[in-house]
Amino acid sequence: MSTKGFMPIRVSGIPVGSEPVKRQKGRRTGLVLLAGACLGAVAVCAVLMPLVYFTLADLQVKVDKLIDERSQKGLEIHSDSLGETVNGNEDRHRRGAGPGDRPPPPPPRSGAVYVRWGKEMCASDVETLYNGVVGAGNYNHKGGSGNYQCLPLDNVEWNKTQAGYQHHSYMYGAEYQGGVGPFSTENMPEGITNPANYDIPCSVCHVVGRFAHVMIPARLSCPQGWYKEYSGYLMSSNYNHNSNSDFICVDGAPNLVPGSAANENGALLYLVEAQCGSLPNGPYVNGFELTCVVCTK
Ligand SMILES: [Ca+2]
Ligand SMILES: [Ca+2]
């Protein structure tokens, strides 16, 4: 009988003969390999997990850092945007503010105010509020006021006046008393070398952008950071007169009121000299005329 065409008997779809044995061996081998692969994978995972954990933690730190940087940049961008908004508002204001828009505040125009005694005008870079002449109580009166005033000559205004004297306090004009002393004559009218009996001008000065002022006696220069407005000499009333007045700082190169040479007295201004004792002898010197300086900041 020929075996040609022999076909192995199959039971339940499984071929009978040597082939099923081979398949069983292959299946076991496959299972072993699968188990080995799983164990290997577990081992690999056990090794890699800590690395992955630390990598993720490091990545989280980097992400947090990036978020912080972006937040800061965002604030800067927001600030820039606000700046653009402010500029935009200014542009709109220049073009014409719309309803509800508020105009920007004006630039600061305030500053320190001081009297420049002895000068008819303030410095060229300082606003002269007004100018006038020095006034105070009479040198020979026991009472009355003892502080000097800068009295305007223009636009003098009155209110409910009564002719004659009913009251008991008076204002007099002030004269230089004594010789020229250490004063410079450069701002006096030509030919005048002695200011005695001339009336004394003054000006009230407004210096924008500097908000404090101080008069320092016995100094010609200002502390560091302060601006020198002017310097000169201390003047006040005569110690032997009845009046008792403040010290004021009179410009070292004063003007004189034109045409005021007549000796009419009234309030009188004298240079002030040092008297040592309670005042330390050194740096102060008996008989020296005291200087002064007015400073602003
Ligand atoms: Ca006079
Ligand atoms: Ca002297």
Residue 228, in any domain of the structure = yes
At 12, is the pLDDT very low, low, confident or very high (cuts 50, 70, 90)?
Answer: very low
Q: Are residues 275 and 182 in the same domain?
A: yes
* 285 Cα–ligand 2 center, Å: 10
Q: Indicate whether 242 and 182 sit together in one domain.
A: yes
CA of 122 to the centre of ligand 1 (A): 22
pLDDT at 105: 72
* Rounded-to-integer distance, Cα 217 and Cα 13, Å: 127
pLDDT at 234 over 80: yes
pLDDT in tens, 60-118: 656 566 655 554 444 343 333 333 333 444 444 444 445 567 877 766 678 999 999 99
Domain that holds residue 277: 109-154+170-297
Residue 160 lies in a domain: no
Which one of the ligands is nearest to 181 CA? 2
Phi, psi of 218 (to 5 degrees): 65, 25
Residue 247 covered by a domain: yes
Q: pLDDT tens across 112-163, in order?
A: 999 999 999 999 999 999 999 999 999 999 998 889 999 999 999 999 999 9
Are residues 113 and 221 part of one domain?
A: yes
- What is the per-residue pLDDT across 160-181, written as a single tens digit (0 to 9) for each? 999 999 999 999 999 999 888 9
Do residues 295 and 223 make contact, with C-beta atoms less than 8 angstroms apart?
yes
Tally of structural domains, the chain: 2
Q: How far is the CA of 132 from the centre of ligand 1 (A)?
A: 14
Regarding whether 187 and 280 lie in a shared domain, the answer is yes
- Domain contains 207: yes
pLDDT above 90 for 52: no
Per-residue pLDDT at 47 exceeds 90 = no
Judged by its nearest atom, the ligand closest to the C-alpha of residue 268 is 1
Pick the last residue of a domain from 71, 101, 133.
Answer: 71
65 shares its domain with 130: no
286 alpha carbon, closest ligand: 2
User: 206 near 286, Cβ under 8 Å?
Assistant: no
User: Are 134 and 191 contained in the same domain?
Assistant: yes
* Cα-to-centroid distance, 129 and ligand 1 (Å): 25
Structural domain contains residue 76:
no
For the record, the structure tokens of 54 come out as: 């630390």
Is 131 in the same domain as 62?
A: no
Torsion of CA 78, 84, 88, 90, to 10 degrees: 110
Query: What is the predicted pLDDT for the residue at 39?
Result: 66
Q: What is the DSSP string of 6-33?
A: ----EETTEEPSHHHHHHHHHHHHHHHH
Say if residue 60 is in the same domain as residue 145. Answer: no
Distance from the alpha carbon of residue 236 to the mean position of ligand 2, in angstroms: 14
Whether residue 65 is found in the same domain as residue 117: no
Q: Is the pTM of this model over 0.75?
A: no
In a domain, 161, yes or no: no
Predicted local distance difference test score (pLDDT) of residue 215: 98
